[in-house]
Chains A and B, each alone.
Chain A
Amino acid sequence: MLSVDYSGPIALACDDSKLHPSLQVVWDNSANSNVLVGSTLNKAVLVANPEELEKLLVELEDEVATKVRTAQ
Chain B
Amino acid sequence: MIVAAEGIPNDLKAEELYSKSKEVIDGLKSHGVNVVSYSCDGTQVERSVQDLLVARATNWVSHVVPDPEDDHRHEIRIPMYRLSPVVMVQDSKHAAKTLRNNLFSGARVLVLGNHLAMYSYVRDMAFSALPGCPLYHRDVEKLDRQDDNAATRLFSAPALDFVINQFPDRLGLIVYLFVMGEVVDAYQSRTISHLERIKMVLRCRYFVRLWKRFLNAAGYTESRHYISREADDILNTLIDGLIGLIYVYRDHLGNLRYPLLPWLHSTEICEHVFAECRKLVKDFTHLNFLYMIPRLNILIRAASLFSKGTDPKAQAMGYSHSHLDPENARIESLAMYPTDGEIALAVDEAWNEAVTLLGLLGIQADDISSSPTTSPTDASPPPNPDEVDPVDHPNEETEAVALQHLIGVQQATGWEAVDSEIQDHMHMLTCASIALEIEERRAL
Interface residues of A (CB under 8 A from B): 1, 7-17, 19-22, 24, 26, 37-40, 42, 63, 65-72
Contact = CB atoms under 8 A, between A and B. Distances in A.
B284 A20 contact: yes
A12 B277 CA distance: 20
Nearest to B270: A15
Contact of B286 (A1, A8, A24): A24
B183 to A, nearest CB: 19
B7 interface: yes
B264 A71 contact: no
Interface string B1-28: 1111111111000000100110011001
Contacts of A38: 7, 285-287
Given A11-B39, A22-B285, A71-B3, A17 B277 contact: yes
B416 interface: no
Contact of B287 (A10, A12, A26, A66): A26
A72 B276 CA distance: 14
A15 B41 contact: yes
A8 B7 contact: no
Interface of B: 1-10, 17, 20-21, 24-25, 28, 32-41, 46, 49, 86, 89, 91, 248-249, 253, 256, 258, 264-271, 273-274, 277, 283-290
A8 B256 contact: yes
Nearest to B278: A17
Nearest to A65: B7
B41 A8 contact: no
Contacts of A10: 28, 33-36
Contacts of B283: 20
Contact of A14 (B267, B284, B286): B267
Contacts of B284: 19-20
B38 A14 contact: yes
B109 to A, nearest CB: 32
B287 A40 contact: no
A63 B35 CA distance: 32
Contact of B5 (A12, A22, A39, A69): A69
Contacts of B287: 22, 24, 26, 37-38
Contact of A71 (B21, B32, B288): B21
A68 B289 contact: yes
Contacts of B289: 19, 68
Contact of A13 (B7, B34, B270, B286): B270
Given A69-B5, A72-B1, A72-B2, 8 more contacts: A9-B35, A9-B249, A10-B35, A14-B270, A17-B270, A17-B277, A24-B285, A69-B7
A8 B4 contact: no
Nearest to A8: B258
Contacts of B28: 10, 12
A12 B35 contact: yes
15 contacts: A11-B35, A11-B37, A11-B39, A11-B265, A12-B24, A12-B25, A12-B35, A13-B38, A13-B40, A14-B267, A14-B270, A15-B270, A17-B270, A17-B274, A69-B5
Contacts of A7: 32, 34
Nearest to B281: A20
A26 B289 CA distance: 13
Given A7-B32, A8-B253, A24-B287, A65 B9 contact: yes
Contacts of B288: 20
Contacts of A8: 34, 253, 256, 258
A67 B7 contact: yes
B292 to A, nearest CB: 11
A40 B256 CA distance: 42
Contacts of A19: 7, 284-286, 289
Residue among A9, A21, A37, A42 having the largest count of chain B Cβ atoms under 10 Å:
A9
A2 B420 CA distance: 59
Contacts of A68: 5-8, 286, 289
Residue among B4, B89, B267, B286 having the largest count of chain A Cβ atoms under 10 Å:
B286
In the A-B complex, the 8 residue pairs with the closest CB atoms: A65-B7, A15-B270, A22-B285, A9-B36, A17-B274, A38-B286, A13-B39, A71-B4
